[in-house]
Structure 1
Amino acid sequence: VDNRPESTPNSRPSSSRFEVGERLRQTAFLDQTLPTRTRYQNSPYRVDPSEKAQLLAPMIRSTAEQYFSKYKISWHRHANHALSSQQCCLNFLMPLAEQPGRLSQLIGRALDIAPPDMMPVEDGPDGRPWYVGFEWNGGGHDYLNESKKGKPLQRGANSTCADAVVRFCTDQGPEFLLIEWKYTEKYGAPIPAKGNCERCRRYTAIAFDPNGPLKRNPMLNLKDFFYEPFYQLLRQQMLAHRMQLAQHGGVRRVRVLHISPAGNRALHRVTSPPLRELALGVDAFDVFRSLVVRPNDFVNRTIEDLFIPTLREAGADDPWASYLTQRYRFLSDGASVVS
C-alpha cells in the first residue's frame, strides 16, 4: 500500500519559496536551541535519527515516544527532518490531547460550529484518556481492503492513515474528524505506476460505489486520482466514508479536515491533468471538495486561522504557545501571534 508519499518534507527536487524560507528558519531555530546536534548527512536542518525526539516540543518528547511504542505506531521515514509534517502535527496537537477545552474551541473554529463536547479517542501512554489520536487507520478495521493475508494493519505505515483523529458530540450526535497535516509538501509528478493494478483492485469499488464518497461522473476513473495530493485525499475520504457507514464508535458522521500553512501556495497546485481538463477549479482542495457527495465532509483550513487565536489566548508565558511561535515563524508573518 502506498501509505505516505507525502511524509517526505520535499516531494519534488525543486524547492518552493515557502520551503526555502522554512529551511532557513528551522536551521536558525536549531542553531539557537540545539547547537550541539548531530547533523545527519551534514544537513543543518536534519538530525541523526537517534535524536529525532529533539525535534519535538519539550513537553511531549518522552510522551510521544511512549505513545508510539504503546500502539506500535511507525515513525515517518523523515521524522529526523526539521520540516517533517509528522513532527509539526505532533508539536501542535499532541500537547492538546489532554486539554479538551482548548481542543473544543479549535474544532469549533475549524468546522464553523459551536465548540463541541470533546470525547476521548483512546488512552494515552499513562492510561489517562486522550482526546486526540495519531496515525489513525480505522481503529483495527480494514475498511479499505489494505490488509495483507489478514494481518493487522500498522498505524503509520502500509495503510491509509490520518495524521490525527478527534471525536466529539454536537446537538446532531457524535462525530469523528480525520485530520491531515501538511507543512512544506508540494507535488507534481504522478505516483509510481508500479502497483496501480493493486490500487484499482482495492479502491475502485469503494470510490465509485453509487452510495460512495464521490459524485457520479462518467468522465472520471480511479487513475485520474493517481497524483498527489488527490490520491491521498481520496483514500482518506474513503476511510471517513467507510467509518461512517459502519457507524464506527457509534458516530453518525465522519469528516476530513486538511490543515496546512497559508504560505505554502505550491501545495494547492492541481496536479492531475484529467482534473485540470475538467476545469473544476484552480485550487487542488477546492477541486477535490467539488467532487465529494457532501462537500462539507471535506474541510480545508490554514494553521494560522486555526491556531493563532488559541496561541494568543494561551499567552507568551505558556510553554506550548511559546515553543510554537519561536519554532514556526510563519505563524507571525504579517501578524503578532502572542504578546
Structure 2
Amino acid sequence: MDTRPESTSNSRRSSSRFEVGERLRQTAFLDQTLPTRTRYQNSPYRVDPSEKAQLLAPMIRSTAEQYFSKYKISWHRHANHALSSQQCCLNFLMPLAEQPGRLSQLIGRALDIAPPDMMPVEDGPDGRPWYVGFEWNGGGHDYLNESKNGKPLQRGANSTSADAVVRFCTDQGPEFLLIEWKYTEKYSGPIRSAKNPKLEQSYGKLVFAPDGPIDASHSLALSDFFYEPFYQLLRQQMLAHRMQLAQHGGVRRVRVLHISPAGNRALHRVTSRALQKFGTDAFDVFRSLLVRPNDFVNRTIKDLFLPTLREAGADDPWASYLTQRYRFLSDGASIAS
C-alpha cells in the first residue's frame, strides 16, 4: 500500500521554512523556463496534470512516459507539482539508467564502498538494459502479502513501492539497493489509514517474526510505527528483508537507501511518541531499531550528487538542469567549484 504523500499532503499544517523556500525557488525556475504554463488551481508551482511531463528534465520527458506505460506504473497523485518527490527522483536518477559508470560512483559514495559493478535491473522502453528501476515493489512477487483477491500488484500504487532500485555486485556478491526519495515532505500525526486489521496482522507477522528486521528486544508494537516517516521506512525495510530471505535475483543482500535534501530538517522529526526515547532524529532512531542497522543508510542529495555533477561540468545538460532547478544542491556555489 502506497501512502507516500507529496509536499501538499500536510496542507493543513504549517509549512516548514525549507518547503516555503523551495516553493519560491521552483516558482522562479518555472517562470523562467515555462512562462506560458497552465497553472493548476492558480498555483504558480503546479501545472495542469496534462502538462506534468514539463516538470521532468528535458532528456527524460518522453522516456519516462514510455517507461511508466510499459510497466503499467502509476504516477503519484501530485506528479504535476514542482515539489513532487517522484519528479525529483526521476530527474536525478532516470538520466543515469543507461550510465552504469556514473551510477557506480554514486552507489559507492552512498554505501562507503569501492564503486561496484552495476548490474541491469530491467529493460528500458526501447529494450536496452536499464541499471535503475523505478517504483519497485518486488519484481512480481507479493513479499508483504498486499495483493487483493490474488490480483497482480501495481507498481507505484496500492503496494509498498521503493522510488527506485539498483542492482550491483561487490567482492562479497550481488546486492539490491532499494531507494526512497524525499524532497519537501514533513510529518506529524498518526496514520489513520494504516490501522487496518488485515494489514496489522500481515505486517505484524513479518516485522516481529524471529527472522524479522526489527530487534525484538525493544518490545515495540506495530502501532508504534503508524506514524510517517516510520511507517514507510518499516514497510520498505520489510520488503528489502523479504527479498533478501528469498534471495531475489540471486542476491545475497538487500539494503535501503534513504535520500533527501540536507535542508529539510522537519523531515527528521521523531513523530511517534513511543520511539522518542530512542533519539531525536527519525532516521537515526529507525536505524537503531534494526537487527542489522547497516541495512539502512541515510544520505543527503547534495552529498551524493554534487561531486558527480561537478565532474560532469556545467556544459552537461543533466548537470546544468539539476543545478539550475534545485538550488539547494550547492547553496549558491558554482558547479565548477
Normalising by structure 1, we get a TM-score of 0.97
Q: 2:315 aligns with which of 305, 314, 317?
A: 317
Report the equivalent of 1:109: 109
Question: 1: CA distance between counterparts of 2:266 and 2:7?
Answer: 15
Residue type matched to 1:302 in 2? T
Q: Which amino acid aligns with 2:5?
A: E
Partner secondary structure for residue 95 of structure 1:
helix
- Between the two proteins, the alignment pairs up a number of residues equal to 336
Local SS of the residue matching 2:278: coil
3-state secondary structure, aligned to 2:216: coil
**Structure 2: tracts of 5 or more residues without a match:** none
Contact 1:29 1:327 in 2 (8 A): yes
Unpaired segments ≥5 residues, structure 1: none
Residue 228 of structure 1 is matched in structure 2 by: 228
In structure 2, do the counterparts of structure 1 residues 153 and 8 end up closer, same or farther at CA, with 3 Å as the change threshold? farther
The equivalent residue for 2:237 is 237
TM-score, scaled to structure 2? 0.98
Spell out, residue by residue over 1:48-76, the C-alpha distance to the aligned partner (whole angstroms, 9 max, x if none): 00000000000000000000000000000
Distance across 1 between alignment mates of 2:319 and 2:193: 43
CA distance in 2, matches of 1:171, 1:218: 34
Aligned to 1:333, the other structure's residue is in SS state coil
Partner Cα distance (1:327, 1:4) in 2: 27
Q: Which residue of 2 aligns with 1:287?
A: 285
* Structure 2 match to 1:4: 3
Distance (whole Å) between structure 1 residues aligned to residue 147 and residue 184 of structure 2: 30
SS at match of 1:7: coil
Mapped contact 2:47–2:80 kept (Cα < 8 A): yes
Pick which of 44-53 and 184-193 moved more: 184-193
1:48–1:80 contact (8 Å) kept in structure 2: yes
Contact 1:106 1:306 (C-alpha < 8 Å) held by counterparts: yes
Identity %: 85
Distance 1:317 1:246 in 2: 44
Instruction: Tell me how far apart the structure 1 counterparts of residues 306 and 4 of structure 2 sit (CA, whole Å).
Output: 29
Query: Would you say the 8 A contact 1:10–1:186 is kept in 2?
Result: no
Which residue does the alignment assign to 1:215? 215
**Partners in 1 of 2:129 and 2:218 — Cα distance?**
46
**One-letter code of the match for 1:338?**
A
Runs ≥4 residues deviating over 2 A: 4-13, 193-196, 334-339
Q: Note the 1:166-205 alignment, pairs <5 A.
A: 166-193=166-193, 195-205=195-205
Please tell me the residue identity of whatever aligns with 2:319.
Answer: A
Instruction: Give the Å deviation of 1:197.
Output: 1.4
Secondary structure in 2 matching 1:158 = coil
Equivalent of 2:326 in 322, 325, 328: 328
**What is the alpha-carbon distance in structure 1 between the residues aligned to residue 175 and residue 315 of structure 2?**
33
After TM superposition, give the deviation of residue 329 of structure 1 in Å: 0.6
Residue 135 (structure 1) shift: 0.1
The 1:194–1:236 alpha-carbon spacing in structure 2 relative to 1, beyond 3 Å, is: closer
Please report how far the alpha carbon of residue 192 of structure 1 lies from its aligned counterpart in structure 2 after TM superposition: 1.4
